Structure 1
Amino acid sequence: MLFAPGLPAAVDALLQRAVALRHSDPAEAERLLLNAAARFPDCLPAHFALYKYYANRRSLAQAEDAARRALREAARQGGFACRLGLREPAGERHPYEAGGAGHFYLFTLKALAFIKLRRNEAAAAEDILALLLALDPEDRSGASVVRQLADAVEEDG
């Protein structure tokens, strides 16, 4: 599995090992992912791997915490405000560059909206989806998929 082109070898080794162990030794996989995120806090793929790991294990509170840390780091790297749960001011656009911090921010917001849905926090998911719509009206992040899930949850609820 390739996490990102140009990923430092030390980070890649930790992430690859964690992926290999995620089923046979989940505690060790988690330790490796936490180690990668701590040792390389500016490495966005390390943050992605951590929140994805927790989400897949249905450790949703931990997935949310990891995603929020990832969003803060992406905003810091991209030089834009991290507006978690707040609607974006009218006319303010989010910088989006494929593969960059803006790209990562949008996809992590989408993941956070999904996590919120899985935690039965539909109102919080709606706020995040509204923010995503403001930041990414062209739906380059694919947030419309989570929007469809949210709509289905609303209809069932």
Structure 2
Amino acid sequence: MNLLTGAESTALFGGEISPSIRHLVDRARQAPREEAAAILWPACVSAPQSLPVYYLLYKLHAGLGELDQAEQAASKGLAAAARAAGLPTDWHAVQPGQADFAAPGAARFWLFTLKALAFVQLRRGERGIAQALVEQLARLDPGDQVGASVVRALLAESGPSSLGLKRG
């Protein structure tokens, strides 16, 4: 099961997590939000291929406003998903057709995490990086299956002083 939605983890992330990692995730879910990251980061170290843990980490940190940590978790999750999907580790180098981004699994998680990274970059005030990520998402997902249009709209509507963004 997906750790947050109840949907099958296989459909969203390309596979179930091991029982030992599930135990850590269950502990993190029961811990206060401020303490959950201290449980989840070691899970990433012990099972770097476990994509759901990266998802939980970047969602947790973003929700707490810890944007540097959210960026770190999303970047690590993006790299892990790229390895699992056979994609280049540099997101700039990924081309349409290199993977089936619509099918459940690592490639779809990679695309979804690219969107999360765009959102985190926008919130961090890194408008140029967010714009480049959104443009890559449009190339790879022209049907907007992962919902990058939400980030694109925020980017278009927000000024440098919106969303806590810095100027530049």
- Tell whether the structures are fold-level matches, with TM greater than 0.5: yes
Unaligned runs of 5+ in 2: 4-8, 11-15, 163-168
Q: Residues 88, 36 of structure 1: CA spacing in aligned structure 2 closer, same or farther, 3 A cutoff?
A: closer
1:14 to 18, 24, 31: 24
Asked whether the 8 Å contact 1:37–1:47 carries over to 2, the reply is: yes
TM normalised by structure 1 equals 0.86
Per-residue deviation, 1:122: 1.1
User: 1:90-114, CA deviations, whole angstroms, 9 ceiling, x for partnerless residues?
Assistant: xx43411532111100110000000
Unaligned runs of 5+ in 1: none
Aligned counterparts of 1:33 and 1:131: Cα–Cα separation in 2? 29
- 2:58 pairs with 1:51: yes
Aligned counterparts of 1:33 and 1:39: Cα–Cα separation in 2? 10
2:46 to 39, 51, 60: 39
Higher relative contact order, chain-length normalized (CA < 8 Å, sep 6+): 2
Aligned counterparts of 2:128 and 2:159: Cα–Cα separation in 1? 10
Identical-pair percentage: 36
Corresponding residue number in structure 1 for 2:2? 2
Asked whether the 8 Å contact 1:110–1:143 carries over to 2, the reply is: yes
User: 1:52-105, CA deviations, whole angstroms, 9 ceiling, x for partnerless residues?
Assistant: 111111111111111111111111110111333x3755xx43411532111100
The amino acid of 1:30's aligned partner reads A
Q: Residues 76, 151 of structure 1: CA spacing in aligned structure 2 closer, same or farther, 3 A cutoff?
A: same
SS at match of 1:134: helix
The amino acid of 1:17's aligned partner reads R
4+ runs deviating over 3 angstroms: 154-157
RMSD over aligned Cα atoms: 2.1
Aligned counterparts of 1:33 and 1:105: Cα–Cα separation in 2? 19
